[in-house]
Amino acid sequence: MPPSQPPNTSTEENKSGLGTFGGVYTPSILTILGVIMYLRFGWVVGNAGLIGTLLIVVLANSITFFTALSVCAIATDRVIRVGGAYYMISRSLGIETGGAVGIPLYFAQALSVALYTIGFAESVVTAFPHLSQLYVGLIVTVAVGILALTSASIAIKTQYVIMAAILLSLFSFYFGHPVEPTHIELWVTNKEPFWAVFAVFFPAVTGIMAGVNMSGDLRDPIRSLPIGTLAAVGTGFLIYITLPIFLAMRADSSTLIAEPLIMEQMALWGPSILLGVWGATLSSAIGSMLGAPRILQALARDGILPQWMRFLGQGSGPDDEPRIGTLVTLVVAIAAVCIGDLNLIAPVLTMFFLTTYLVLNISAAVEGFLKSPSFRPSFKVHWGFSLLGAIGCLGVMFLIDAVATLVAGIVVIGIYFWVRQRELFVTWGDVRRGIWMALLRMAILQIDHTQDTKNWRPQILVLSGAPTKRWPLIQLAQALTHNRGLITVSSVLPTGSRDVAKQAVLEQRIHSYLQRRGVQALVRLVTAPDTFDGAERLVETYGLGSIVPNTILLGDSQQLSHRDRYCQMIANLHQAQRNVIILRENPDLPDNPWDESKNRSCRIDVWWGGGMQGNGSLMLLLAYLLRSNPQWQRGEIYLKLVVMDESAVIEAKNNLDKLAQELRIGALSEVILADGRTFATILKQSSAGADFIFLGMPTPGHLFMQTYEKLQQWTKNLPTTVFVLAASGSAFEEVL
């Protein structure tokens, strides 16, 4: 039996499509050898000198080379389908980032067709002045569109003819002659600044995306993209590193600057250079006309475009060619040709291309740095090279046009958030989860179990049961954390009620419910024969390293049959060095403190009894966290203290005022004289109009259940009350 063929491999015999030379190398090298080479290379040499030009060529090609390495790494890790650069980015950094880059990249490619055909028309009108530039541009644009509509392979074959014209022009130039006696200027310092010259030349080496955009039409993209792309980059570098030597030897700097078509004067056969210019513009136009519809097709198929534009994802024929997308791109290009002047948006288009390079480099760098087991490219590249490419792209963007860079950045960020808010569902993973996992690992290993009062955060484990039944518990947890801590919503299920698989599904269902209601929280379900034992085991085992819940939030127990076990659980949680917060609500009161529609100030009463040690400082801290929530920012914290002797009122008031001032939480002190009244009576009279009441619980002991029942009696018919029991040995006075 013959060996089975490994997955993701193709052969020419069993799969149709374009090969390496026609599908990648040809469009890439023809886009690299463009109009900059013919019309601006002499200007570059004249302004920078021979050494300066060679340095520019090396720097520019280095950035392109690093980007090509990144493309090769990504392309050999997974099958690259329709969409080229967009497909790579979306499968690596997520659909939001892919859409943010892909949509501008499509328009850049589509409008580039007009840029190239207008350039072609200008050169034709220069040679034949009696022709109309607009009509020539329209005719050429329609012809390029017809080529792309007919077949990608036919368009590629047309590029072979163009390549022949460019090769003829290069041979004619290399075997040409000087135009004047000259002295080679190695370095010119009195002309244009070096980086300004660099900015003019750099677009000449940005053609590698032409081959990447054809990824969906390749027989074997994993093999063709690396070979074709690197071969095109190498060929372009050899040509660009030799051309300035010939230019510097055949004319002086002033002539090179003054004559855009100086290569025509140097060539063995002058008209060949004009043929090369025409071929360069036409090949670039064809490459853009082939690439743009494929990006549009991929954007539509992934659901990034609105629903009514999904028809743009349709393919035609056995090769799944995007003919509808090609027609749309042709309309865009014709409209741009009719406008005629694209000088204002041309820099922004260049920024979109460079943004694509930048993000591709970032994708490869992140994938390589994280070393995810799923990232196994056959073409291995160190992540440092990709990072250098990203830094180079960003630097070049600002060197070319800082304003255009900012405009492009604003557009990309705007599209990113537009795609993000649509919450698109995708079937593939991306590198973002790997980034968070790597950061999480680093953070957990850095954080030890040592208490750090300066950086204390509420890590709340909510024993809520079903969230829909005890939603105020989750509301209180969210109000106390407000993006400063973690919330875990938990529940103990009876043994045998769920298997492991169903439990995971239920956790995901609860998590989705919380997200829909705007709550960012983790979810943890456990099974146990006894609810209280399950809750205690959950507190004991839940967490990762030193990241464990420091505060347990639960609801008040009204069932007499469970009262003893409930109080025993509180005592056990206290012994486990956890803060315990119990929410006691009064369902008979019509006033709901969580009603966001009521625009009024909130009153929070904190009953001060034990001083800064233990419960007192934790209650003040929780009250401050509650008021820091946007819903309660207009609230007031009242720090209340009961004294038995009238002579102690003034001193107690001064002490409370001093304490409130030192703590800087804006609390208002209130000293109440008992005057023979019990604390229960004072509590009911003083806090009847509050929204929240904070009361400390005594340390659990032999009679803790009776003490807890007394607290319940005291707060009967009162507004929402929070019982607080600080962990033993806590130092919340230092947090405050």
Give CA–CA dist 365/66, Å, rounded: 11
Residue 191, sorted as left (phi over 0), alpha (psi -120 to 50) or beta, turns out to be beta
**According to the model, what pLDDT value does residue 440 have?**
74
List the beta bridge partners of residue 722: 583, 694
DSSP string across 556-572: PP--GGGHHHHHHHHHH
Q: Which residue has the higher pLDDT, 736 or 704?
A: 704
Token reading at 366: 């992140």
CATH number of 35-421: 1.20.1740.10
- State which H helix or E strand residue 579 sits in: strand 579-584
- State which H helix or E strand residue 637 sits in: strand 636-643
Q: Check pLDDT > 90 for residue 387.
A: yes
> What is the identity of the amino acid at 225?
L
Share of residues in the chain with pLDDT > 90 (%):
25
Q: Which residue has the higher pLDDT, 345 or 62?
A: 62
Alpha-helix residue ranges (DSSP H) falling in 33-132: 35-39, 41-75, 85-93, 95-127
Q: Do 708 and 558 form a contact (C-beta atoms < 8 A)?
A: no
Grade residue 141 by pLDDT with cuts at 50, 70 and 90: very high
Give CA–CA dist 560/290, Å, rounded: 76
- State which H helix or E strand residue 643 sits in: strand 636-643
Q: Give CATH 3.40.50.620 domain extents, the chain.
A: 453-555, 599-736
Q: Check pLDDT > 60 for residue 600.
A: no
Q: What is the pLDDT of residues 427-438, one digit of tens each?
A: 666 666 777 777
> What is the identity of the amino acid at 733?
E
Give CA–CA dist 263/256, Å, rounded: 9
Give CA–CA dist 705/535, Å, rounded: 19
Give CA–CA dist 226/259, Å, rounded: 38
Looking at residue 716, the DSSP 8-state letter turns out to be T
Looking at residue 6, the DSSP 8-state letter turns out to be P
Q: Check pLDDT > 60 for residue 610.
A: no
For the ranges 168-177, 227-236, 505-514, which has the lowest average pLDDT? 505-514
| DSSP3 helix / strand / coil % (the chain, rounded to 5) | 60, 10, 30
Q: What is the pLDDT of residues 268-326, one digit of tens each?
A: 999 999 999 888 888 888 888 888 898 999 899 888 888 888 888 888 877 778 889 99
Looking at residue 158, the DSSP 8-state letter turns out to be H
- Average pLDDT on 527-532 reads 88
Residue that the structure tokens 């082939």 belong to: 290
Q: Give CATH 1.20.1740.10 domain extents, the chain.
A: 35-421
User: Smallest Cα–Cα separation from 36: which of 45, 24, 25?
Assistant: 45
- Average pLDDT on 246-254 reads 92
Q: Check pLDDT > 60 for residue 620.
A: yes
**According to the model, what pLDDT value does residue 263 have?**
92
**According to the model, what pLDDT value does residue 729 have?**
67
**According to the model, what pLDDT value does residue 425 have?**
66
Residue that the structure tokens 């060996």 belong to: 3
> What is the identity of the amino acid at 432?
R
Q: Which residue has the higher pLDDT, 329 or 676?
A: 329
- Helix, strand, or coil here: 82? coil
> What is the identity of the amino acid at 345?
I
**Beta pairing class for 636-643 and 668-673:** parallel
Average pLDDT over the chain, rounded to whole?
83
Grade residue 6 by pLDDT with cuts at 50, 70 and 90: very low
Torsion angle in degrees (nearest 10) through CA of 544, 548, 552, 553? -70
Token reading at 321: 């060619």
Please provide residue 321's backbone torsions phi and psi, each rounded to the nearest 5 degrees. -75, 140
Residue that the structure tokens 């209130």 belong to: 670
**According to the model, what pLDDT value does residue 158 have?**
80
Task: Please enumerate in sequence order all residues whose Cβ is within 8 A of that of 678, keeping only pairs 6 or more positions apart, or say none.
Answer: none
Rg (Cα) of the chain, in Å, rounded? 36
Q: Which CATH class is domain 599-736?
A: alpha beta
Q: Which residue has the higher pLDDT, 158 or 266?
A: 266
DSSP string across 262-289: HHHHHSSSTHHHHHHHHHHHHHHHHHHH
Share of residues in the chain with pLDDT > 70 (%):
88
Q: Select 453-555's CATH number: 3.40.50.2300, 3.10.310.30, 3.40.50.620, 3.40.190.10.
A: 3.40.50.620
Task: Please enumerate in sequence order all residues whose Cβ is within 8 A of that of 205, keeping only pairs 6 or more positions apart, or say none.
Answer: 32, 60, 61, 63, 64, 233, 236, 240
Q: Do 552 and 463 form a contact (C-beta atoms < 8 A)?
A: yes
Give CA–CA dist 239/174, Å, rounded: 10
Q: What is the pLDDT of residues 255-266, one digit of tens each?
A: 998 888 899 999
Grade residue 426 by pLDDT with cuts at 50, 70 and 90: low
